[in-house]
């Protein structure tokens, strides 16, 4: 398949000289390549819509363009059906340990606040919503229809999801990234960038904050600092509990994403292991939430 993609990329009218696309490792939703062209470097992302995950490329591209206009993501210079080209950021992807460092807290929060408040000012065309409880319900149905090996777990996942949605209560909508894995942050030596807008859409800021924590194993102290820095106020018991509930939602969604990917994805990735890792984190977080009663 990579050979077919490389041939397609090489033939794009965007290039004015011959190019040699090179695979870029790390994608678990897309296939990515690096291309050097006339002294500039680009990243080419190849991927069609993925309805089972709610990934619609028109939305991803529009979000990425708006994020560039907001100053937090690289420029997209070309797009067509199932493919787009963006400028390469010469930097280092974050690790979980980088996200956990105290000196990175303020830049991370600043990046998220810009995402939440500035992207809507630049977004053109229709935009998707990312309501995690709907996402989880849909994943549960998809896993059941696909006769997942985890079918016996699905009723409990559905019960968890309904309980957590009640606990979250009313929300304020912002524009969320919704997929804050450490590797989606790139540091170029002077500043942070945020990439990969596959799941972008209107949501609550609390999900991005919880998602950042659950994906990067933040400690309780780091979570408190994150919430105080973002909301600019002391953390109340009510906020602390809602955050704990949303962290469970984030982990439930990631677990179900992996369960569905086990059935439907053709990418070379160990989804079974990823399911196990996130399920273990979910059980721990849900137990901690119940102990808060």
Residue ranges and CATH numbers for the domains of the chain are: 2-87 (3.30.200.20), 93-290 (3.90.1200.10)
pLDDT beneath 50: ranges in the chain: none
- pLDDT attached to residue 80: 95
Q: Classify 224 as helix, strand or coil.
A: helix
Q: Angle, to 10 degrees, between the axis of helix 220-231 and the axis of helix 205-216? A: 150
- pLDDT attached to residue 163: 96
CA distance 259 to 152: 12
Helix or strand run (H / E) with residue 240: helix 237-264
Q: Burial of 80 by CB count in 10 Å (0-12 exposed, 13-18 middle, 19+ buried)?
A: exposed
Q: Where are the alpha helices (DSSP H) in 148-219?
A: 154-168, 205-216
- pLDDT attached to residue 266: 82
- pLDDT attached to residue 28: 67
- pLDDT attached to residue 27: 66
CA distance 217 to 212: 8
Q: Encoding tokens for residue 25?
A: 């490792």
């Amino acid at each position: 398949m990579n050979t077919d993609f490389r041939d397609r990329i090489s033939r794009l009218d965007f290039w004015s000289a011959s190019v040699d696309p090179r695979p870029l490792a790390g994608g678990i939703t897309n296939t990515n390549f690096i291309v050097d062209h006339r002294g500039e470097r680009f990243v080419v992302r190849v991927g069609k819509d993925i309805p089972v995950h709610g990934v619609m490329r028109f939305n991803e591209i529009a979000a990425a363009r708006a994020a560039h206009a907001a100053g937090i993501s690289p420029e997209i210079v070309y797009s067509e059906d199932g493919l787009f080209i963006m400028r390469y950021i010469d930097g280092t992807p974050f690790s979980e340990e980088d996200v956990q460092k105290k000196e990175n807290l303020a830049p991370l929060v600043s990046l998220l606040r810009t995402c939440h408040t500035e992207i809507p000012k630049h977004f053109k065309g229709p935009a998707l919503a990312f309501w995690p409880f709907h996402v989880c319900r849909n994943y549960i149905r998809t896993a059941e229809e696909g006769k997942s090996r985890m079918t016996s777990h699905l009723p409990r996942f559905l019960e968890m999801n309904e309980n957590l949605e009640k606990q979250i209560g009313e929300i304020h909508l912002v524009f969320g990234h919704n997929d804050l894995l450490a590797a989606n942050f790139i540091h170029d030596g002077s500043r942070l960038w945020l990439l990969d807008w596959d799941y972008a859409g209107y949501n609550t800021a609390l999900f991005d904050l919880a998602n950042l924590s659950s994906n990067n194993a933040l400690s309780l102290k780091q979570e408190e600092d994150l919430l105080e820095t973002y909301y600019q106020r002391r953390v109340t018991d009510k906020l602390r509990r809602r955050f704990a509930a949303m962290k469970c939602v984030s982990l439930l969604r990631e677990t179900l994403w992996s369960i569905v990917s086990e059935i439907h994805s053709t990418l070379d990735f160990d989804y079974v292991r990823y399911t196990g890792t996130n399920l273990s984190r979910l059980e721990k977080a849900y137990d901690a939430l119940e102990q808060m009663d």
